[in-house]
Amino acid sequence: MISNGTGSSFCLDSPPCRITVSVVLTVLILITIAGNVVVCLAVGLNRRLRSLTNCFIVSLAITDLLLGLLVLPFSAFYQLSCRWSFGKVFCNIYTSLDVMLCTASILNLFMISLDRYCAVTDPLRYPVLITPVRVAVSLVLIWVISITLSFLSIHLGWNSRNETSSFNHTIPKCKVQVNLVYGLVDGLVTFYLPLLVMCITYYRIFKIARDQAKRIHHMGSWKAATIGEHKATVTLAAVMGAFIICWFPYFTVFVYRGLKGDDAINEAFEAVVLWLGYANSALNPILYATLNRDFRTAYQQLFRCRPASHNAQETSLRSSSSQLARNQSREPMRQEEKPLKLQVWSGTEVTAPRGATDR
């Protein structure tokens, strides 16, 4: 909705401040676009990456790429010019796209956590649990929920308050209105419930990794156990830390606006938490792709950072899902002495219970 609001307009009057913010926002947009383009290219050019798990990675990358192309440039222009210059109709389209793509991005992260939970807790039944049909249904469900909470809600006025918003032709403003019901429903469905489930699933994954590290330690390979547990901790902390830091402030403000009113929050603070949420789309290609060994190999081939033979040799070291079952039948000493490598979002490499590790 376009409104003139009642609070003070957040505007960057100082030229040095305006230049600094312009540079920061431009870099953030470019990283978002470039990072997600690289993810899509890596999957498109590397057949090894075309797995069911990576369907969610690609969906996430496409969503964040669309956000970087269709939303962030207008958000940056609006932030720097202190006025909405594209009219009321496009304001509704812009805000709908904003809500839809941010919602879809978060729900893709949520589905990735469920996929990794199934892969780690029950690797032998993973191919049965995660099927092409279920992945397709999950992706459709993500977009149905996202469209319902964005285009449908905003264009039908489900998010609006009782008062009629006005359009100030002098300093027009474009801002999503939030009433109590919309704020609570959108906050719960889009963030708080996915956050709760992600905390549970990643805690379970970490617990399995820690138990496996303890078994390695008991067999005498304390160094491998320490390294494995440290890597698992850092990986999961990065995933959850980035998600919480980027989105928790925004949705807290979002729900608070639903409770207290659209002008209850200082506009400068609201702008900061909004762009902090946008920053998650720039971090996703790093956290959900670069930390994956197969994606790193594909990136190296794409940018020719290392010889192709080296990449092929590294890629050949990956174990298939069937290898997990065979690993479990081998003698305990050989299993337990292998260092733990937890890659939460890999399509074929999972940390299995009972000591199954990657080769």
Predicted local distance difference test score (pLDDT) of residue 171: 62
Q: Which residue has the higher pLDDT, 32 or 5?
A: 32
From CA 283, how far away is CA 274, in angstroms rounded? 15
Give the CATH architecture of domain 2-315: Up-down Bundle (1.20)
Q: What is the mean pLDDT of residues 277-302?
A: 86
Lowest pLDDT segment from 101-105, 150-154, 301-305, 344-348: 344-348
Q: Is the pLDDT of residue 183 over 90?
A: yes
- Which of 296, 285, 290, 319 has its CA nearest to residue 46? 296
From CA 73, how far away is CA 68, in angstroms rounded? 7
Q: Which residue has the higher pLDDT, 327 or 273?
A: 273
Q: Where are the beta strands (DSSP E) in 218-305?
A: none
Give the DSSP H/E element, type plus range, for residue 13. Answer: none
pLDDT band of residue 58 (cuts 50, 70, 90) is very high
Q: Is the pLDDT of residue 34 over 90?
A: yes
Cβ burial, residue 41 (10 Å; 0-12/13-18/19+): middle
Number of CB atoms found within 10 A of residue 187's CB: 19
Number of residues that this document lists for the chain: 359
Say if strands 173-174 and 2-3 run parallel, antiparallel, or are unpaired: antiparallel
Q: Which residue has the higher pLDDT, 123 or 291?
A: 123
From CA 139, how far away is CA 108, in angstroms rounded? 8
The rounded percent of the chain whose pLDDT value lies above 70 is 73
Q: What is the mean pLDDT of residues 185-189?
A: 95
Range among 8-17, 97-106, 347-356 rated most confident:
97-106
pTM over 0.75: yes
CA angle centred on 220, ends 219 and 226, rounded to 5°: 105
Longest dimension (CA), the chain: 76
How many Å is the Cα radius of gyration of the chain? Answer: 23
Q: Report yes or no: 349 and 327 within 8 Å, Cβ to Cβ.
A: no
Range among 47-61, 89-103, 329-343 rated most confident:
89-103
Q: Which residue has the higher pLDDT, 201 or 12?
A: 201
Backbone angles phi, psi at 314, to 5 degrees: -65, -40
Q: Secondary structure of 136-167 in the HEC alphabet?
A: HHHHHHHHHHHHHHHHHHHHHCCCCCCCCCCC
Q: Is the pLDDT of residue 96 over 80?
A: yes
Q: Is the pLDDT of residue 124 over 60?
A: yes
Q: What is the mean pLDDT of residues 133-161?
A: 94
Q: Is the pLDDT of residue 105 over 50?
A: yes
Q: Is the pLDDT of residue 310 over 70?
A: no
Predicted local distance difference test score (pLDDT) of residue 1: 45
Calculate the average pLDDT of the chain: 79
CA angle centred on 98, ends 109 and 290, rounded to 5°: 35
Q: Which residue has the higher pLDDT, 82 or 103?
A: 103
pLDDT band of residue 232 (cuts 50, 70, 90) is low
Q: Report yes or no: 225 and 336 within 8 Å, Cβ to Cβ.
A: no
Predicted local distance difference test score (pLDDT) of residue 165: 46
Q: Which residue has the higher pLDDT, 181 or 294?
A: 181
From CA 120, how far away is CA 138, in angstroms rounded? 19
Q: What is the mean pLDDT of residues 214-224?
A: 61
